[in-house]
């Protein structure tokens, strides 16, 4: 086994993967460092407030683990930078510093990712994730992928897929001891045992690093949110869009291409594999939208107000937007509501521009009100 591992190490060194070339560090990993240096003194290690500085200053730093759960990325970014605090739903004491000039935009996002991790992970970070990062790239990335999503060079070759370490739905089910024992003793046919190669501190570091690979998809597991997507590609939109719009039966023309179908299947699989519950699925009557939804989620209800607004008279377009807002704001349900529509329709209710492969997550707040939780990315 040691030989195999040595071979893997050599291979992984040959194959690009060292920490220096990992283009983007996992956001929560980066955010943790900033949290430790800039926030922890007031908000405490676990984010629950009453850190030593807060005590010394006799201020009450909020329990971030509860606030963060209900705040959208934008709200949190505004609060942390101080830039749009006045727009926040409540007044925030000036003893919470404004970090606008301290952090780059990238760093603020990393901090938010770490706050999301703090507020949702059930497991403590027992080891040093810096050690974990180094070892993960050296020993694990070749199979688990540099980003931890299970798409490593070796596993692609073997055509096996280890668990996706970026998926909190999967990793949260395993406690720290379970992760550690998989690393020490191996698992199944292809996960090697690292006992004798890595010491306990190193394994703990790896376990902590795996926790920080966390990505925010996890939030969707609880349901009750609205997922807004646009049609598969802008190019297809142009090719087929308008003519099919006038053909609600979708029978007379070629509809979704093979490539489009495969994409749709993969969308559905990604939601499923991450344990994201889907309630109802509504789509524009446009064939591409309808078929994408049906192929991805196995169900679809076409509704007029999701039709492309491109060619509509203004009044009609406004009415569709109003209906869309009401549908989102008043949604409540166990699963998430999926809406498949067009770029213009999404622009009309949000400043966000959704590129292909991204989707917008909204939190309904009653009537026609909702807030943006964030833009998530589907795997390529």
Output the CA–CA distances (angstroms, integers) from residue 284 to 91, 297, 326, in the order listed: 40, 15, 16
Tell the smallest beta-carbon distance from residue 25 to ligand HEC (Å).
17
Q: State which residue has the least CB distance to ligand HEC.
A: 188
Beta pairing partners, 191: 187
Q: What strands, in cross-sheet order, belong to the sheet with 226-230?
A: 301-302, 278-283, 336-341, 226-230, 358-364, 370-377
Query: Burial of 256 by CB count in 10 Å (0-12 exposed, 13-18 middle, 19+ buried)?
Result: buried
Residues 119 and 63: their CA atoms lie apart, in Å, by 10
Residue whose CB is less far from ligand HEC, 49 or 232 = 49
C-beta closer to ligand HEC: residue 208 or 295: 208
Q: Residue 162 or 302: which CB sits closer to ligand HEC?
A: 162
Please report how close the Cβ of residue 71 comes to ligand HEC at its closest, in angstroms: 7
Interface with ligand HEC by CB under 6 A: which residues?
8, 38-39, 41-43, 53-54, 59-62, 64, 67, 76, 79-80, 92-93, 95-97, 99, 111, 135, 139-140, 142-144, 154, 160, 162-163, 174, 179, 182-183, 187-188, 190-192, 194, 206
Closest approach of ligand HEC to the CB of residue 12, in Å: 8
Question: Cα separation of 7 and 192, whole Å?
Answer: 12
What residues pair up with 278 in beta bridges, in sequence order? 336
CB of 67: closest distance to ligand HEC in angstroms? 5
**Element (H or E) spanning 281, and its range?**
strand 278-283
Based on CB atoms, which residue is closest to ligand HEC, 2 or 259?
2
Instruction: Please identify, using beta-carbon distances, which residue of 178 and 318 lies nearer to ligand HEC.
Output: 178
Supply the minimum distance, in Å, between the C-beta of residue 31 and ligand HEC.
9
Nearest approach, Cβ of 99 to ligand HEC (angstroms)?
Answer: 5
Least distance from C-beta 11 to ligand HEC, angstroms?
10
* Nearest CA-CA partner of 377 in 363, 364, 366, 361: 361
Minimum Å gap between C-beta 49 and ligand HEC is 8
* Complex with ligand HEC: residue 9 or 378, whichever CB lies closer: 9
Q: Which helix (H) or strand (E) holds 363?
A: strand 358-364
- Among residues 154 and 256, whose Cβ is nearest to ligand HEC? 154
**Cα–Cα nearest to 297, from 325, 275, 257, 267:** 267
Pick the closer one to ligand HEC by CB: 51 or 241: 51
239 C-beta neighbours (distance < 10 Å), count = 14
Report the helix count and the strand count for the chain, using DSSP H and E. 18, 6
Map 127-153 to HEC letters.
Answer: CCHHHHHHHHHHHHHHHHCCCCCCCCH
């Amino acid at each position: 086994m040691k030989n195999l591992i040595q071979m893997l190490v050599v291979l992984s060194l040959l194959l690009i993967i060292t920490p220096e070339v990992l283009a983007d560090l996992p956001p929560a990993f980066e955010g943790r460092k900033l949290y430790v240096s800039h926030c922890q003194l007031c908000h405490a290690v676990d984010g629950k407030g009453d850190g030593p500085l807060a005590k010394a200053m006799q201020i009450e730093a909020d329990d971030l683990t509860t606030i963060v759960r209900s705040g959208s990325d934008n709200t949190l970014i505004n609060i942390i930078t101080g830039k749009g605090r006045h727009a926040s739903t409540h007044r925030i004491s000036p003893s919470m510093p404004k970090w606008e000039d301290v952090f780059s935009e990238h760093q603020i996002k990393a901090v938010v990712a770490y706050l999301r991790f703090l507020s949702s992970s059930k497991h403590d970070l027992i080891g040093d994730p810096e050690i974990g990062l180094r070892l993960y790239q050296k020993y694990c990335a070749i199979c688990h992928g540099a980003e931890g999503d299970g798409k490593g060079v070796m596993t692609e070759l073997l055509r096996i897929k280890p668990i996706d370490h970026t998926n909190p739905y999967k990793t949260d089910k395993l406690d720290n001891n379970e992760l550690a024992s998989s690393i020490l003793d191996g698992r199944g046919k292809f996960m090697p045992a690292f006992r004798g190669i890595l010491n306990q501190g190193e394994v703990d570091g790896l376990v902590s690093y795996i926790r920080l690979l966390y990505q925010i998809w996890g939030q969707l597991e609880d349901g009750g949110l609205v997922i807004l997507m646009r049609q598969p590609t802008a190019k297809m939109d142009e090719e087929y869009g308008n003519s099919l719009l006038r053909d609600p039966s979708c029978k007379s023309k070629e509809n979704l291409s093979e490539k489009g179908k495969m994409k749709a299947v993969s969308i559905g699989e990604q939601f499923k594999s991450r344990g994201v519950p889907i309630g109802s699925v509504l789509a524009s009557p446009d064939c591409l939208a309808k078929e994408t939804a049906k192929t991805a989620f196995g169900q679809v209800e076409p509704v007029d107000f999701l039709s492309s607004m491109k060619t509509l008279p203004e009044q009609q377009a406004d009415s569709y937007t109003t209906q869309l807002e009401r549908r989102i704001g008043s949604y409540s349900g166990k699963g998430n509501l999926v809406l498949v529509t067009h770029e213009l329709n999404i622009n009309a209710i949000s400043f966000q521009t959704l590129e292909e492969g991204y989707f917008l997550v909204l939190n309904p707040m009653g009537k026609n009100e909702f807030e943006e939780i964030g833009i998530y990315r589907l795997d390529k």
